[in-house]
């Protein structure tokens, strides 16, 4: 049943749910080195509330959920929450985005729970540089997770935020990983969601620049067919096993077939990454909303989904500045 349709005919079937605003890293493009302000624990949605919201949305046609944060694995009992979510047979896929540092010992459990896709964030293959970007000494843990996920049945995508002057010289190294491995590497345009409101540099590394850079190195690149509602434009170096993609997160050229909504760790419902939140699901639930009340609100809200990320940003009361860790990437 697909009831969540906006006025441009886009059907919403994908929820990105931030399970926490806390994180064990301090990635330089995501938050200040001293960390972003975190909310009081009681302001976070409880797992029971998240389960309910997800169930209600699944009854309206949402069949894919991505659990993100902050870092999902820093929230206590996250694995138990995953287990309960896996019982919802309306969900065709439950995916995770993680920095990987705490994932090592859970890979078998993730497989057993039927988690099919994990996006692992890793912005450098160089230990010192990685540790400088994240302000943490965790490269070895993350790299072990990468290797162990590759040995598992879970589909692995690597998320690489392209940071001018920092890791642009590693773009080709990341693509080299796809030569013999069935791996998807996705380069993400940096956005100003970093707790400061400004991108760190005037240098433009947008999807076109990134692709040009790759094409100047590899002459034989094929574009892969665009899957409906895909978040990236995807390519393969001819003859390579894996693929690479570019996510135009900042230039926003993929809004036309967006199927996504977000709920932040405090329950803020977002129709678009770039809006500043439409209503708070947590308050609505805590004020006694029934499932039907929730459904009505979701249907009405989704119908107002802005045409694209530029329209959403223009309608904000405040400038984009919050950290991705509070929104859920
Ligand atoms: N902590 C987990 C992680 O890092 O994978 C999940 C949350 S994180 C906010 C989700 C994704 O957003 C990561 O791939 C991260 O690199 C990306 N991200 C964070 N801040 C960003 C920014 N300012 N611009 C572009 N991507 C960003
Ligand atoms: Fe944490 Fe992910 Fe933000 Fe890095 S990108 S600080 S790992 S939430």
Residue 267 has pLDDT above 90, yes or no: yes
Backbone phi and psi for residue 230, each to the nearest 5 degrees, phi listed first: -65, 150
Model confidence band, residue 197 (pLDDT cutoffs 50, 70, 90)? low
- CB 191 near ligand 2, within 6 Å: no
Least confident of 139-153, 163-177, 193-207, 215-229: 193-207
- CB 23 near ligand 2, within 6 Å: yes
Q: What are the angstrom distances between the C-alpha of 165 and each of 133, 147, 250? A: 12, 27, 18
Question: Which of 16, 18, 27, 96, when mutated, tests ligand 2's pocket best, judged by the most ligand atoms within 8 Å of its CB?
Answer: 27
Measured distance CA(42)–CA(52) in Å, rounded: 17
Closest residue by Cα to atom 22, ligand 1, is 191
pTM for the structure as a whole: 0.95
Tell me what pLDDT residue 71 has. Answer: 97
Mean predicted lDDT score pLDDT of the chain? 94
Give mean pLDDT, residues 111-127: 97
Per-range mean pLDDT, top range of 36-40, 49-53, 254-258, 275-279: 49-53
- CB 326 near ligand 2, within 6 Å: no
Backbone phi and psi for residue 237, each to the nearest 5 degrees, phi listed first: -75, 125
Q: Where are the alpha helices (DSSP H) in 105-195?
A: 107-112, 127-134, 139-151, 171-176
The atom number, within ligand 2, closest to the CA of 161 reads: 5
What is the dihedral sign for C-alpha 290, 54, 56, 298? positive
| CA atoms lying within 13 Å on the CB side of residue 279 | 13
Contact 236, 229 (CB under 8 A): no
Question: Which of 73, 193, 325, 327, when mutated, tests ligand 2's pocket best, judged by the most ligand atoms within 8 Å of its CB?
Answer: 325
**114 torsion bin: left (phi>0), alpha (psi -120 to 50), beta (else):** left
């Amino acid at each position: 049943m697909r009831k969540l349709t906006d006025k441009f005919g886009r059907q919403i079937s994908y929820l990105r749910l931030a399970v926490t605003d806390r994180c064990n890293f301090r990635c330089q493009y995501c938050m200040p080195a001293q960390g972003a302000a975190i909310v009081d624990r009681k302001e976070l949605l409880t797992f029971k509330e998240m389960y309910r919201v997800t169930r209600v949305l699944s009854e309206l046609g949402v069949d894919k959920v991505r659990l993100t944060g902050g870092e999902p694995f820093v929230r206590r009992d996250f694995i138990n929450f995953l287990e309960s979510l896996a019982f919802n047979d309306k969900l065709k896929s439950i995916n995770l985005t993680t920095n990987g540092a705490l994932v090592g010992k859970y890979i078998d459990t993730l497989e057993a729970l039927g988690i099919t896709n994990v996006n692992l964030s890793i912005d450098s293959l160089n230990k010192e540089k990685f540790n400088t970007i994240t302000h943490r000494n965790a490269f070895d843990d993350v790299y072990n997770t990468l290797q162990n996920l590759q040995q598992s049945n879970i589909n692995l995508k690597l998320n690489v935020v392209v940071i001018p002057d920092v890791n642009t010289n590693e773009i080709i190294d990341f693509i080299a990983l796809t030569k013999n491995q069935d791996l998807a590497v996705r380069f993400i345009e940096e956005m100003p969601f970093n707790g400061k409101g400004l991108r760190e540099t005037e240098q433009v590394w947008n999807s076109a620049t990134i692709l040009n850079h790759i094409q100047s190195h590899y002459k034989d690149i094929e574009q892969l067919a665009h899957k409906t509602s895909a978040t990236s434009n995807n390519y393969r170096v001819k003859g390579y096993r894996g693929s690479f993609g570019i996510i135009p997160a900042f230039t926003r050229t993929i809004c036309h077939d967006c199927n996504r909504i977000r709920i932040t760790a405090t329950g803020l419902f977002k129709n678009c990454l770039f809006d500043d939140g439409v209503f708070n699901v947590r308050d609505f639930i805590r004020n006694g909303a029934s499932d039907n009340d929730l459904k009505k609100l979701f249907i009405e809200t989704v119908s107002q989904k802005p045409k694209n990320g530029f329209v959403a940003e223009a309608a904000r009361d405040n400038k984009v500045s919050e950290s991705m860790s509070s929104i859920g990437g």
